[in-house]
Amino acid sequence: MKTLRSIEEWRREYVRLKEQNYHCKIGLVPTMGYLHEGHLSLVKQARVECDIVVMSIFVNPLQFGVNEDFDRYPRDLKRDQALAAKLGVDVLFVPELGEMYPQEPLTAVTVSGITEVMCGQSRPGHFTGVATVVTKLFNIIRPDYAYFGLKDAQQVAVIQQMVHDLNIPVIIRPCPIVREEDGLAMSSRNVYLSAEERQQALALNKSLQEGKALIKQGERDTDKIKEHMKAMLLSQPLIELDYIDIRSFPGLKALESLDGVKGQVIVAVAVKIGRTRLIDNVIIDMGEERVHV
């Protein structure tokens, strides 16, 4: 596995790869590092359908609010290199801040509407930061495929919309959420949790399972479903609720009732536990009564 630090090094590698095999398929797995099984599942999916797998590691300041955890976000390049190499990543692209942003950018990519709800409401500017850096990564790496986890389902919706609206020539592959054995969605931020916080964090998935069960039993009033979920979450004293939301997916339209809804619906939660913000969701296919977790 090669670790490349500069855009120029990747450009040379790209030319070399295309000279060897013009038709080689390049897959990109964008991450902020501190890898876990969730990230690795994206690499496994990329390995299946791409000749070359590039993983980027870049903690993007543009997507963090002023009071968020940019400075303390976990970083461990040596550990990430070992994990990525073991899994068969071909190129680890790890640009420094100055490589991605030699000066303050005057250009940003903003997707409207679907970025103004859920995490977009709690983290103003977050999705513009994400869309801008992902556009830069697409322009730098020029992947045929890019892999994103559905733990960040709103991010998937935003990127798919952006790729569609701007005719970006890349195929987006959304990948299922990977969970710990006890149901907690894997996240780099789980390392922030104390043992007690970690235990109470199980309420996220439990509340989503409760919401899903109510829908399967025929409950169609989204306020009632949210009330049940809220009670479960707030039974944990360390949990502070950010939001519980039930919307169409990927359009993220508000739904008061699920009556007559045929497409996919997302049930999403965001909480703070101590200083740590965690998100999780479940996507339910109402048409076929298929449930993706």
Ligand X SMILES: Nc1ncnc2c1ncn2[C@@H]1O[C@H](COP(=O)(O)OP(=O)(O)OP(=O)(O)O)[C@@H](O)[C@H]1O
Q: Is 189 annotated as a binding residue?
A: yes
Instruction: Please tell me what DSSP assigns to residue 166.
Output: T
188 binding ligand X? (CB under 6 A): yes
39 binds, among ligand X, ligand PAF, ligand BAL, none (CB under 5 to 8 A by kind): ligand X
Q: Which residues bind ligand PAF (CB under 6 A)?
A: 30-32, 60, 63, 130, 133-134, 152, 155
Of 41 and 63, the one with the shorter C-beta distance to ligand BAL is: 63
Q: Which two tokens stand for residue 38?
A: 């969730």
Of 152 and 210, the one with the shorter C-beta distance to ligand BAL is: 152
3-class secondary-structure state, position 244: strand
User: To the nearest whole angstrom, how small is the minimum distance from the Cβ of residue 22 to ligand PAF?
Assistant: 28
161 binds, among ligand X, ligand PAF, ligand BAL, none (CB under 5 to 8 A by kind): none
Of 175 and 284, the one with the shorter C-beta distance to ligand PAF is: 175
Instruction: Please tell me what DSSP assigns to residue 257.
Output: B
Q: Are 14 and 142 in contact (CB under 8 A)?
A: yes
32 binding ligand X? (CB under 6 A): yes
Of 30 and 214, the one with the shorter C-beta distance to ligand X is: 30
Q: Are 148 and 159 in contact (CB under 8 A)?
A: yes
H or E element, residue 96: none
Where b means 16+ CB within 10 Å and e means fewer, 71-97 reads eebeeeeeebbebbeebebbbbbbbee
270 binding ligand X? (CB under 6 A): no
3-class secondary-structure state, position 24: coil
Of 135 and 187, the one with the shorter C-beta distance to ligand X is: 187
User: To the nearest whole angstrom, how small is the minimum distance from the Cβ of residue 199 to ligand PAF?
Assistant: 26
Q: Is 17 annotated as a binding residue?
A: no
Q: Are 145 and 171 in contact (CB under 8 A)?
A: yes
Q: Are 28 and 143 in contact (CB under 8 A)?
A: yes
Residue 23 appears among annotated catalytic residues: no
Fill in the per-residue mask, 30 to 69: x = in contact with ligand BAL (CB under 6 A), - = not in contact.
---------------------------------x------
User: To the nearest whole angstrom, how small is the minimum distance from the Cβ of residue 32 to ligand BAL?
Assistant: 6
Q: Is 35 annotated as a binding residue?
A: yes
151 binding ligand X? (CB under 6 A): yes
Can you point out the beta strands (E) in the chain? 2-4, 26-31, 52-57, 91-93, 145-149, 171-175, 239-249, 264-273, 276-285, 290-292
DSSP state string for 170-204:
-EEEEEPPPB-TTSPBP-GGGGG--HHHHHHTHHH
Q: Which residues are annotated as a binding site for (R)-pantoate?
A: 63, 155
Write out the catalytic residue numbers.
Answer: 39
The site for ligand BAL (CB under 6 A) is made up of 63, 152
The site for ligand X (CB under 6 A) is made up of 31-32, 38-39, 41-42, 148-149, 151-152, 175, 177-178, 185-189
